[in-house]
């Protein structure tokens, strides 16, 4: 069977640049890879055909020979091309773009200078509970954080006497080794250095070559005014120490504001239920209410107030969450919700006065009057 034109196989024109050819190959290779097409047996042959075409066209000398003589340039052992060999030997073609296709997943680092030897430490999380008063005022709080710190004996190198580790001879500092399996190039973690890229000949006795040790630390955390449950505070470089001198991770403080015995919070708004006597609610008067800053406010209760009536105290809520030296927005308000309290433990005289009041036929209970009028109309409709 006659071979297809290599340019047609890759879907490019004869004047295509090297980058265009490589891009076309990458798309075809991912599309036809046997691992992605296990139920289509034809994909394996087409995949080999694509690799063969790329092996020829990626090489300037082979490409020039192919442009001039076509497939005959490589028949009968033709030695065109700087490396010799047949374009059908596509293992090197696949390896050439292996890094582009799978390099990020395999832990490759760019620039050709080998992998990063020092490893960044892990980030840490600390759950911090504060009171509503502390959230209102803001504060400096000391916390104790368990974790790893840089070993002082070896200065994080992991080697006795702080001697710098040597490059691993097996992987040349890459941390990975490659093995050719057919037309696949497989990367594995280097067994000699366990992926570190370096070897410590004389490990530090304090940290056993890790470059870090376990130790609790006491830190001072600035809790800004206005924090609420879910607020996250980042302390850069206060996480786990890196391996063998690598940079430390970060510490994230997750704030939880405890429930308060008096106030309910909704963002910057505070709410407070205040009981008032039946007499005060009926005749009107004043009631004293607390505020989150420790102060007191006197609130006028209008005559005839019912349970659930709300009044607003401007600026008596929570402050806005401050960022740096400034603040965004104005403080919130506090809502006062009245709860009319029914009297208990009445004397005989008090009960007598209430019965006397109840017997007065006056329009002094508008809600009851309205409700029972609706009930009467409902019963009349049901019996009619």
| Residues annotated within a binding site for Zn(2+) | 151, 154, 168, 171, 190, 193, 204, 207
SS3 labels along the chain: CCCCCHHHHHCCCCCCCHHHHHHHHHHHHHHHCHHHCCCCCHHHHHHHHHHHHHHHHCCHHHHHHHHHHHHHHHHHHCCCCCCCCCCCCCHHHHHHHHHHHHCCCCCCCCCCCCCCCCECCCCEEEEEEECHHHHHHCEEEEEEECCEEECCCCCCCCEHHHCCCEECCCCCCCCEEEEEECCEEEEEECCCCCCCCEECCCECCCCCCCCEEECCEEEEEEECCCCCCCCEEEECCCCCCCECCCCCCCEEEEEEECCCCCEEEECCEEEEEEEEEHHHHHHCEEEEEECCCCCEEEEEECCCCCCCCEEEECCCCCCCCEECCEECCCCCCEEEEEEEECCCCCCHHHHHHHHHHHHCCCCCCHHHHHHHHHHHHHHHHHHC
- Residues 300, 306, 312: CA angle, nearest 5 degrees: 45
Q: Which among 303, 300, 304, 305 has a CA at the least distance from the CA of 288?
A: 300
Element (DSSP H or E) covering residue 277:
strand 269-277
- Beta strands 176-181; 184-189: pairing state: antiparallel
- Residue tagged 């008596």 (tokens): 316
Report the alpha-carbon distance of residue 48 to residue 53 in Å, rounded.
9
Phi, psi of 40 (to 5 degrees): -115, 100
List binding-site positions.
151, 154, 168, 171, 190, 193, 204, 207
């Amino acid at each position: 069977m006659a071979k297809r034109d290599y340019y047609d196989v890759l879907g490019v024109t004869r004047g295509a640049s090297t980058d265009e050819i490589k891009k076309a190959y990458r798309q075809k290779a991912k599309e036809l890879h046997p691992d992605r097409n296990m139920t289509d047996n034809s994909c394996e042959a087409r995949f080999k055909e694509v690799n063969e075409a790329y092996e020829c066209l990626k090489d300037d000398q082979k490409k020039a020979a192919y442009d001039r003589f076509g497939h005959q340039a490589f028949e009968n052992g033709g030695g065109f091309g700087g490396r010799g060999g047949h374009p059908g030997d596509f293992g090197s073609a696949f390896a050439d773009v292996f890094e582009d296709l799978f390099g990020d997943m395999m832990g490759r680092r760019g620039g050709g200078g080998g992998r990063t030897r020092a490893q960044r430490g892990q980030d840490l999380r600390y759950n911090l509970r504060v009171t509503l008063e502390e959230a209102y005022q803001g504060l400096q709080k000391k916390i104790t954080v368990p974790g790893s710190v840089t070993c002082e004996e070896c200065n994080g190198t992991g080697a006795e006497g702080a001697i710098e580790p040597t490059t691993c001879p097996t992987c040349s500092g890459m941390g990975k080794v490659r093995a050719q399996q057919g037309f696949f190039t497989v990367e594995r973690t280097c067994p000699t250095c366990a992926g570190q890229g370096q070897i410590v000949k004389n490990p530090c006795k304090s940290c056993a070559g890790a470059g870090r040790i376990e130790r609790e630390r006491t830190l001072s955390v600035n809790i800004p005014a206005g924090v609420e449950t879910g607020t996250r505070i980042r302390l850069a470089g206060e996480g786990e120490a890196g391996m063998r001198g690598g940079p430390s991770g970060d510490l994230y403080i997750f704030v939880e504001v405890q429930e308060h015995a008096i106030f309910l919070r909704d963002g910057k708004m505070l709410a407070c239920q205040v009981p008032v006597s039946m007499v005060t609610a009926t005749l009107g008067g004043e009631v004293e209410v607390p505020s989150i800053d420790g102060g007191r406010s006197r609130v006028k209760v209008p005559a005839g107030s019912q349970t659930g009536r709300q009044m607003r105290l401007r600026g008596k809520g929570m402050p806005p969450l401050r960022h740096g030296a400034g603040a965004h927005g104005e403080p919130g308000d506090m809502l006062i919700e009245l709860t009319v309290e029914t009297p208990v433990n009445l004397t005989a005289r008090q009960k007598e006065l209430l019965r006397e009041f109840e017997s007065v036929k006056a329009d002094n209970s508008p809600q009851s009057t309205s409700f029972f009028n609706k009930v009467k109309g409902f019963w009349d409709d049901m019996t009619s």
